[in-house]
Amino acid sequence: MITSTEERLLAGLVRAIKMNSRGWIEAVEAVSEDGMPIAHESDNPNFNSEYIAAAAAAVCGAISAVIELMGAKGYKRFNIQLDNGRYILIRQYRGYYVVCLTRTNPNLGYVELLLEAYLSE
């Protein structure tokens, strides 16, 4: 169960990532491993945090299953390149997932450094 302290920490983290992304990140959401939305920031007024959280948890579960079936160990992050030049970036952070959607053709190096700075443990 998430505590209000954890929720505030994740909300601040999501806000900081979005604010410091120099516009390269369009949306950020923190999601629990069981698919519950914790906090999000988005430029899209139609952003549906519940659907995004459930889908992100399902994708992460599927990737974990593939990794296990291949006899490999866990993962910390993965990137999905979309047809339109955008990326979905998913990072594990303290038992949660942080999901980002970039703008088209982002400065991926900067975004990766930003996420590493905020999400390193």
In 15-116, the DSSP E strands lie at 25-32, 37-42, 77-81, 87-93, 96-102
d(CA 5, CA 52): 23
How wide is the angle at C-alpha 90 spanned by C-alphas 48 and 73, nearest 5°?
A: 140
Q: For residue 66, give the CATH number of its domain.
A: 3.30.450.30
Structure tokens at 89: 């970036």
**Strand extents, DSSP E, the chain:** 25-32, 37-42, 77-81, 87-93, 96-102
Tell me the residue range of the domain where 110 lies.
4-119
Within 10 Å of residue 117's Cβ, how many Cβ atoms?
A: 11
Token output for 68: 């296990």
**Low-confidence residues of the chain, pLDDT below 50?**
none
Provide the whole-model pTM: 0.92
pLDDT at 74: 83
Please state, as a whole number, how many other Cβ atoms lie within 10 Å of the Cβ of residue 70.
7
One-letter amino acid identity for 40?
A: H
pLDDT of residue 1: 54
